[in-house]
Amino acid sequence: MRSITCRILSVATAAGVTALTAAIATRGYAQTTGTVPAVQPAGIEQLKAQYRRPDTIPFPKSNPYTLEKAALGKKLYFDTRLSAANLLSCASCHSPAYGWGDGQAKGVGHNMKQLGRRSPTIVNAAFGEIFMWDGRAGSLEEQALGPIRADVEMNMPIEQLMEKLKAIPEYAPLFKAVFPKEGMTPETIAKSIATYERTVVSGRAPFDAWIEGDESAISESAKRGFALYNGKGGCMNCHSGWNFTDDSFHDIGLSDADIGRGKQLPNVEKMHHAFKTPNLREIGRRGPYMHDGSVATLEAVMEHYINGGIDRPSRSALMKPLDLSKQELADLVALLKTFDSDIDPTTVPVLPR
């Protein structure tokens, strides 16, 4: 993987992308002096180090970053003409206005038909191991064309998409500049969109400032929440690391009939009703929650984990009823809210005609 330096990590604008350089930055960990109840002071520094945000965005060797490619990808990402009805773009369901989701319980596709699952955020997709709620895409490049082609989503067969984009004169020179050999192909469309998506990284949040040593950045309640998150709450068993995900699949005992990853791996019992752990960056902006949008608030999410969900053979061994008080629930929610950044507005690109 190739990385580019990212100090701002909110690079949705051209100006932001310009701020990136090709160097890989290194730096030492900041020293902190505070302690968190229920976590040994000696261990807190080690624990906090696990949550330090990276300075670089990884890009695959097979699709390296360029400013022009990301800019082309942004145009494609926001272009509703990639849908059969000229009404839906990638940004319709993965909108910067809603933490790069859509704020709906479930996505809405072609002809305003409701889809089966909540639109996942694309924030920090650059750091993902596997994509879609059920992991059926192994890369962003592989994923990018899926919703465009899907008849229930953007309903655009690839052949039709190519014809349509070729009929927009200003697109061809952009592709030629970025991909001199290939020009406009389904693969270069996917590579461009994937490159843009990788630049969508969550901004610095109060949590990051605290991790780096600013004890005043988050409340005492949130600090207690951090101890619970890594202690008896067990949140870190799945929502691990700076992006708060293990990129893994777990049945957390929700009641809908969707078997999730089980459709890909029907012979693996633990994959039935299992969905990929979502990251928790910008989580305050991303409700309603869960793969089916069935839980309205972060408080209700906590209640679900306290109850432990439906006990069935596929349920993750990590899911079990928790003994958490109302105050502890509130502390965990206070922590989650420190994961929201003071995010900059995203500019919408002028599209080729």
Partner 1 sequence: MKLMTVAVLAAFAGGSVAAFAADHTISQKGRVFSETELTVKKGENIVFVNDDNIAHNIMSTTAGNEFNLGSQAPGASSSVALSKAGEVAVVCAIHPRMKMTVTVSD
Which residues of the chain form contacts with partner 1 (CB under 8 A)?
129-130, 135, 237, 246-250, 261, 265, 267-271, 274, 316-318
Report the distance separating Cα 279 and Cα 258, nearest Å.
21
For the record, the structure tokens of 147 come out as: 């919703």
Task: Give the residues across from 95 on adjacent strands.
Answer: 101
- Identify which of residues 41 and 266 has a Cβ nearer to partner 1 in the complex: 266
- Asked whether 61 and 8 are in contact (CB, 8 A), the reply is no
**Cis before residue 352, ω within 30 degrees of 0?**
no
Nearest one of 140, 135, 131 to 58, comparing CA atoms: 140
CB burial class (10 A; 0-12, 13-18, 19+) of residue 234? middle
- Asked whether 303 and 290 are in contact (CB, 8 A), the reply is no
Minimum CB–partner distance for residue 213 and partner 1 (Å) = 26
Report the distance separating Cα 216 and Cα 310, nearest Å.
39
- Asked whether 292 and 118 are in contact (CB, 8 A), the reply is yes
Task: Give the residues across from 295 on adjacent strands.
Answer: 289
Report the distance separating Cα 165 and Cα 180, nearest Å.
17
- Identify which of residues 285 and 291 has a Cβ nearer to partner 1 in the complex: 291
- Identify which of residues 130 and 306 has a Cβ nearer to partner 1 in the complex: 130
- Asked whether 56 and 6 are in contact (CB, 8 A), the reply is yes
Minimum CB–partner distance for residue 198 and partner 1 (Å) = 18
Minimum CB–partner distance for residue 238 and partner 1 (Å) = 9
Please identify which residue in the block is written with the tokens 């949130």.
222
For the record, the structure tokens of 329 come out as: 């629930």
Minimum CB–partner distance for residue 46 and partner 1 (Å) = 14
List of residues 6+ apart from 140 with CB closer than 8 A: 125, 126, 128, 131, 193, 194, 197, 198
Minimum CB–partner distance for residue 130 and partner 1 (Å) = 5
- Identify which of residues 75 and 261 has a Cβ nearer to partner 1 in the complex: 261
Minimum CB–partner distance for residue 115 and partner 1 (Å) = 24
- Identify which of residues 15 and 318 has a Cβ nearer to partner 1 in the complex: 318
- Identify which of residues 164 and 270 has a Cβ nearer to partner 1 in the complex: 270
- Asked whether 152 and 115 are in contact (CB, 8 A), the reply is yes
Minimum CB–partner distance for residue 98 and partner 1 (Å) = 27
Minimum CB–partner distance for residue 232 and partner 1 (Å) = 15
- Identify which of residues 281 and 315 has a Cβ nearer to partner 1 in the complex: 315
Report the distance separating Cα 217 and Cα 208, nearest Å.
9
- Identify which of residues 99 and 135 has a Cβ nearer to partner 1 in the complex: 135
Minimum CB–partner distance for residue 100 and partner 1 (Å) = 22
Minimum CB–partner distance for residue 267 and partner 1 (Å) = 6
Report the distance separating Cα 315 and Cα 33, nearest Å.
40
- Strand 249-250 relative to strand 275-276, pairing: antiparallel
- Identify which of residues 73 and 128 has a Cβ nearer to partner 1 in the complex: 128
- Identify which of residues 34 and 231 has a Cβ nearer to partner 1 in the complex: 231
